[in-house]
Structure 1
Amino acid sequence: MFGESTAYSCFSVDDLDAARRFYGDVLGLRVEDTGPEGMRMLNLTLPGGARVFVYPKENHTPATFTILNFEVDDVDRAVDELTGRGVTFERYEGFEADEKGIVRDGHGPAIAWFTDPAGNVIAVLSNG
């Protein structure tokens, strides 16, 4: 039924300007302002062309789960670049992370989590 339709994901933030700067300047994604007159929203274009819709919400509550996963060839390099751009990596109970915040437990890809300015969780992980 939906195999041939277009789909996209969405999430909320509490500050569109901060989200625009973070997703555009820090993560390097294409960010476009959109929405009907008087209601500003953002469209993010992910690698590969998928779109994500970002909308403002006054009573925004950050997602407690990972909303975006970015697969990279070199997790260490990605973490170093993001750290250099002011990103702080999260450490979660039950996951042993190294000094950079990367979890390498042998049960899956190397992964590190961080948050956007609205507190939504994002991951960078090894694609190999």
Structure 2
Amino acid sequence: MLHAFPMYAYIPAKDMARARKFYEEKVGLTAREETNGGVVFEFAGGTACFLYPTPNAGTSQASQAFWSVQDVDGLITKLKARGVVFEDYDMPGEKSAAGAITAGGAKAAWFKDSEGNIMALIEDLSAARR
């Protein structure tokens, strides 16, 4: 039933000013609107996320959200140039020169935002073969 509707991510922030600066200056996002003490950022395909204030930011040990991308390695290089620091997880799979892990039909990389939230870039390699 819910598969017919868009889904949006919530991104928690302990310090809204710091988090907004990270997403705008380092990740390159543009705020669509400010609402209810938070900020909405829009993405491709009509999707969006809501960056909101909470003392619980950075407490999850799993990814908060991921971007479905076409060139993980190229984006790693561009984001590193803007100051984004990528995580180096000990995981099975082949590691690219840029640091992405290829396994299970996908190439992936992870970084933490200014609040300690884990974010991911995922490239579906099976889609490229279709």
Identify whether the pair has TM-score above 0.5, normalized to the shorter chain.
Answer: yes
Q: TM-score, normalised by structure 1?
A: 0.79
Q: 2:112 aligns with which of 107, 111, 115?
A: 115
TM-score relative to the length of structure 2? 0.78
The aligned amino acid for 1:115 is K
| AA matched with 2:99 | G
| Deviation of the 1:6 alpha carbon | 6.4
**Does the CA contact (< 8 Å) of 1:89 and 1:100 recur in 2?**
no
Unaligned runs of 5+ in 2: none
Aligned residue in 1 for 2:35: 34
Q: Shift of the alpha carbon at 1:49?
A: 1.8
Displacement, 1:59? 4.6
> For residues 10-63 of structure 1, what are the alpha-carbon distances to aligned partners after superposition, in whole Å with 9 as ceiling and x for unaligned?
13111111211222222222323211xxxx211121222212222111353432
Secondary structure of the corresponding residue to residue 19 of structure 2: helix
- How many residue pairs get aligned? The number is 123
Change in Cα spacing, 1:3 to 1:90, as seen in structure 2 (3 Å) is: closer
Identity %: 30
Deviations 1:76-122 (A, max 9, x none): 110000110111111223345444321123x2211110011001111
Q: What letter is aligned with 2:87?
A: E
2:21 maps to amino acid? R
How far the C-alpha of 1:4 sits from its partner, in A, is 6.1
- Name the Cα RMSD after superposition: 2.3
1:60 maps to 2:57: yes
Give 2:12's aligned residue: 12
Unmatched 5+ residue regions in structure 1? none
Q: Could you say which structure has the higher helix fraction?
A: 2
Partner of 2:45: 48
The equivalent position to 1:103 in structure 2, one of 82, 96, 101, is: 101
